[in-house]
Amino acid sequence: MKFSHLLPAFLATLAIANPIARPEAARATSLAIANPITSPEAAGNAALDVRAPEPGSSSKHKGGKKGGPSGGKKGGSSSAPKGGDTTAEFKEIESVLSRVNLKDGDWVWFSQLWDRGVVDGDNETDEELKELRDELGYDHIAVIIGQVTIKDVGKGDKKGKGTVLDRSFKGKMYHSVKEKDTRTELESPTWSMAKGLQGKSLKAGGKTTEAKAKAAIEAAEEYFAHGKNEYYDVKENNCETFAKVVEAKLR
């Protein structure tokens, strides 16, 4: 074919494809492809052509969920186990001792405060309670001493990985109460969250040692043998004076 015949055909092709030469035609062509109402099949095919990833690629982040390679919040994943049983008592001490890295076998202590009401069996008068509350800011205090247990209960490929843990805390609550004859007496029931903390709050203590825990318990038991501690006195011998003696042995 002669060049004179090729030139008109080449110019005609440019006129159809060039959006500058024929902008209306270019826009019409684009709309005809992309419009899902006028041409749904064409639009669907076009969308698939644009969005389909190349073989071997993935639209997911390699690190998992948004936030970092751990898949959690920025800074790394939580150390909390993903399985196993955690007792209500452990959850409470984990909260009140949030700055303490709790490990299996740890001895810990903290205080329980009665913000309102009276501990069962206590015989302080309303006047004494008011005076004590005005002085201390609460009605009563007890010291809890106990031990943490954390066991790996994972099975199969999870065994020994630290991801399936049973966590518990067992301790006793030591506090001084007033008897009807105005004598003071030690009470040391097992500390439990069965009834919750209604009207009470917890105050952080910390880690201690088994030896210090034993010394504190001995001090609690021997406290009442001293003459001045045998009888209740709202200013000189109350729940707070007792708690301070016990806490001093734990620090």
* DSSP class per residue in 44-108: HHHHHHHHPPPTT--SS-TT-STTSTTSSSTT----S-SBS-B-HHHHHHHHHTTTS---TT-EE
52 part of a folded domain: no
214 part of a folded domain: yes
Angstrom distance (rounded) from CA 29 to CA 62: 39
Give per-residue pLDDT as tens, 74-90: 333 334 555 799 999 99
140 part of a folded domain: yes
pLDDT score recorded for residue 118? 66
62 part of a folded domain: no
pLDDT score recorded for residue 21? 46
101 part of a folded domain: yes
Sheet harboring 165-178: ordered strands across? 184-187, 165-178, 140-152, 107-114, 200-208
185 part of a folded domain: yes
| Centroid of chain to Cα 65 | 19
Angstrom distance (rounded) from CA 173 to CA 188: 5
Angstrom distance (rounded) from CA 79 to CA 119: 37
Residue 223: give the domain boundaries: 88-250
242 part of a folded domain: yes
Judge contact between 16 and 25, C-beta under 8 A. yes
pLDDT score recorded for residue 121? 63
Angstrom distance (rounded) from CA 54 to CA 77: 32
**Which span out of 10-19, 60-69, 118-127 was modeled with the highest average pLDDT?**
118-127
Domains in the chain, number: 1
Residue with tokens 């109460």, as numbered in its chain: 177
68 part of a folded domain: no
Q: Which residue has the higher pLDDT, 184 or 17?
A: 184
pLDDT of 15 > 50? The answer is: no
Q: Please name which of 21, 20, 22, 42 lies closest in space to residue 31, comparing C-alpha atoms.
A: 42
| Element spanning 208, H or E | strand 200-208
Which positions ≥6 away from 94 have C-beta within 8 Å? 102, 167
pLDDT score recorded for residue 58? 33
In one letter, which amino acid is 9? A
